[in-house]
Amino acid sequence: MAHAILAEEGYRYSSSIYPIKHDHYGIPDAPRSAYQPLADRDFLEIPISTMMLGGRRLPCGGGGYFRLLPFAASNWMMERVRAHDAMPLIFYFHPWEIDPDQPRIEGLGAKTRFRHYTNLSRMKMKLERLLQKGRWDRFDSRFAVGKAL
């Protein structure tokens, strides 16, 4: 449904799917690589990167996982996707994750507080390290965005 609405609004691609199992989001059975979710439109879904380990999909494309895990672990997972799976790495982060001085919301549960506020002060440094390690590019330079695959 969301893909059809995005296509109707003129978007040619989306990177909205994280093909993992999570308690708030994720579509665990979605493809791990770029695919066309709409049979009748040139629209591409480019999912956030995951790594396979022991038959399980592990999230490694950024967001809270990158912020919470040690840099070495995240980097190893991302390099494995690039080398082992021969796939481009699709990485994201939320702008609020680089603001350690953001206001603290009162009344949050321990799990939500942990997920949202842990390692905010380290995120900028981790992103700088990540940017120094590799060449990054835009979707339209790596994918046939808006064209049949």
- The partner residues of 44 in beta bridges, in order of sequence, read 13
Write down the residue that tokens 């990167």 correspond to.
Answer: 49
Q: pLDDT value at position 11?
A: 92
Q: pLDDT value at position 103?
A: 94
Task: Round to whole Å and give the CA distance between 71 and 52.
Answer: 19
Task: Round to whole Å and give the CA distance between 127 and 31.
Answer: 26
Average per-residue pLDDT for the chain = 91
Q: pLDDT value at position 136?
A: 87
pLDDT tens across 20-69, in order?
988 888 899 999 999 999 998 889 999 999 999 999 999 999 989 999 99
pLDDT tens across 118-136, in order?
999 999 999 999 999 878 8
Query: Residue range 75-92: average pLDDT?
Result: 90
Q: pLDDT value at position 71?
A: 96
Which H or E element spans position 83? helix 71-84
Predicted TM-score (pTM) of this structure: 0.86
Q: pLDDT value at position 146?
A: 52
